Structure 1
């Protein structure tokens, strides 16, 4: 994936940020799947932000135990039908503890989305700074930073995360720790993309003109190079979000990520496989939330990539044979399109 982004030509740089944003929006809104995905992501973010309000409406919280709502004689199975679903517990209760599932699910969205977003910001910041510094620095600087980047790219993220999370004291806030571990390990690919794109931009006429005008290196980077890097950086950031959500869920599932009583979708899945027959919603709800979130972010990331790369949109239209395009081509050439054209 990173190779494909590196191979992308330099995106068109608009003289006006507003007009560039308008062109991006016009391309994005032609993709219905991306718009639906954006709506889903916006809804998930709204749910995460409104978690305290939603749980207050239900009258529950994510950490309070309800021993009376589980049958201890049966190993902690929720009392009642459908896992204890009722007016007081909209999605039922957690086996053994009786904690409210709806409250834990919406608060889990806060942790999962928050960790993924914060880790993505760290990755993008480190990748952009190191990538630009490598591309515009002296030869020895480029060699040093490139070798450091190669080391981080070669690091297996899950293994390194497992090792670091296992040795850090449990008193350290786990969501913050997971964010830092993911963010400071997995920035290598975006740094390589930024370096390759910056090297391409350095050879363009407007960058050479700025250099001849006496601008300093970092002023050129800030004023001329960063706008040209916006498209690949935004595209890769959109791709990183679902990956980081999956990594956080996997680490929590393995028991080294977010720990109880802090709710997390991955942490909720840790013991859910034991209860899928007695309380199937305990497994299906966090798994379904993860699936929908990752799918929506992936589709949205692909839509953003296509909207930021006009060539990709053109390639998608080639060979579609839409009648509208055939009529437009015939009108431009002064001849009617062939009858029965596909």
Structure 2
């Protein structure tokens, strides 16, 4: 097969894929979006905090599981002693009501659990979705119908109800963060499988794929060498938007009491314990809620930036305000 023919019809010609000049174009387009850059910096900071949680808590001199009963006023129902929930040099964000556990330590370790569950579940969803989608598009008619029906069933399953049912029946001895990751990942891969199947069916009709088939390449070699690069853009875009969704799902499951169990901290589990303390100790509720809000917004904005950078023809949903009007005025003044 002619290398020139393959190069001239590569899927990355119009939509940049990782590697080579496509990666450089992607980074250049992403850098042009200030909102996406700010969101990426916030996400990078959150990941750094999660990875450095042991170091940060060591600097503070605390850990997420030690009780401090002396810092709790039992006569007032377990409210932390002191102002601002016991905030001080030894406890940078104060302590939990009733237990006296350090809030900063639980918050940074909770970032590990929440982000780890979301990223792990997204990896499972992408892997299963791409495998099912590509296999369905490249298989026989019977295989396509069978895998498509399985995908339809997965898409139709109510995620929260199925997750609640599965998490309730699994023994508590099973590591809860791993279980939540598996449940979310194994239930919610249907949409990405549909995206992968549709994109693969489109790519199958391109000249470079036909040339590879005529050259005697096998099905999976064609999929690996010719189709997967063309799937990179839609899959990466959808995966970037799945991460904040999975963070919200993990928080909801933990809030409902079937997700991560104490003493392992997660932001959703912290919200569960804080729902009755919003007046007596508001920081106990506001800190995990604020962390969840900032994380989900940053990941959503970053996902939109990735979508726009991978498909520069699409208008970004973030381009609102005065920027467009200034460009229009400049064009009119130049024409006048």
Q: Same fold (TM over 0.5)?
A: yes
1:87-236 matches, cutoff 5 A: 87-236=89-238
Shift in CA distance, 15/191, structure 1 to aligned 2, threshold 3 Å: closer
Unaligned runs of 5+ in 1: 1-9, 328-335
1:43 maps to what in 2? 45
Q: Which moved more, 1:200-209 or 1:10-19?
A: 10-19
1:56 maps to what in 2? 58
* Number of matched pairs: 322
Unaligned runs of 5+ in 2: 1-10
Shift in CA distance, 324/52, structure 1 to aligned 2, threshold 3 Å: farther
- Over aligned residue pairs, what C-alpha RMSD do you find? 2.0
For 1:14 and 1:303, the matched residues in 2 are separated by 14
Report the CA distance between 1:278 and its aligned residue. 1.1
Q: Which moved more, 1:32-41 or 1:312-321?
A: 312-321
Report the CA distance between 1:337 and its aligned residue. 2.9
For 1:326 and 1:203, the matched residues in 2 are separated by 41
Deviations along 1:199-240, one digit per CA (max 9) or x if unpaired, are 000011111111111111100000000000000000000000
For 1:13 and 1:136, the matched residues in 2 are separated by 22
Mapped pair 1:263 → 2:260 = no
1:338 maps to what in 2? 335
1:3 maps to what in 2? none
Could you tell me whether the CA contact under 8 Å between 1:135 and 1:195 is conserved in 2? yes
State the TM-score, normalizing by the size of structure 2: 0.92
Could you tell me whether the CA contact under 8 Å between 1:13 and 1:227 is conserved in 2? no
Counterpart pick for 2:308 among 281, 306, 309: 306
Could you tell me whether the CA contact under 8 Å between 2:17 and 2:232 is conserved in 1? no
1:331 maps to what in 2? none
1:27 maps to what in 2? 29
Could you tell me whether the CA contact under 8 Å between 1:307 and 1:313 is conserved in 2? no
State the TM-score, normalizing by the size of structure 1: 0.90
1:78 maps to what in 2? 80
Could you tell me whether the CA contact under 8 Å between 2:244 and 2:296 is conserved in 1? yes
Report the CA distance between 1:326 and its aligned residue. 3.4
For 1:47 and 1:322, the matched residues in 2 are separated by 39
For 1:167 and 1:119, the matched residues in 2 are separated by 20
Report the CA distance between 1:18 and its aligned residue. 1.8
For 1:169 and 1:65, the matched residues in 2 are separated by 27
Report the CA distance between 1:314 and its aligned residue. 8.8
